[in-house]
Amino acid sequence: MSKKSNGFIPVVPGSAVKAYHRNGNGEGFCVITFDSVVTGDLFPMVAVVFKEPGRVAVFNRRSLGAGVIEFGFNSWKGDDFEPELRAFIGKWD
């Protein structure tokens, strides 16, 4: 579904919002909502980003709202978004 642009898919500037979650005794993570433009179409997205590199899940929010969670129908490569999402997160506390 996704198409790379310069090695990653861009996040629309000013669209990202993040929140850190402690996850009880487990590993904490950041949830980021953002918009992305892929092949000219705007997609409202949500990402779950764990501290360890390579651990990023990305979903289309419209599809999630409609209950679509199946692989291949709401599948986005986290590594396409990872550089920009990690830059947005900045330092992990």
pLDDT of 35-55, one tens digit each?
998 788 899 999 999 999 999
Query: pTM of the predicted model, to two decimals?
Result: 0.84
**Strand ranges of the sheet holding 56-60, from the earlier edge strand across to the other edge:** 17-21, 29-38, 41-50, 56-60
Cα angle 50-51-57, degrees, rounded to a multiple of 5: 25
Q: Residues 3-31: pLDDT tens digits?
A: 444 455 778 988 999 999 987 778 889 99
Strand, helix or coil for residue 49: strand
Note whether 79 and 50 are within 8 A (CB). Answer: no
pLDDT given for residue 88 in this prediction: 93
Q: Among candidates 92, 81, 91, 93, which has minimal Cα distance to 16?
A: 81
- Least confident range of 5-19, 27-41, 56-70, 71-85: 5-19
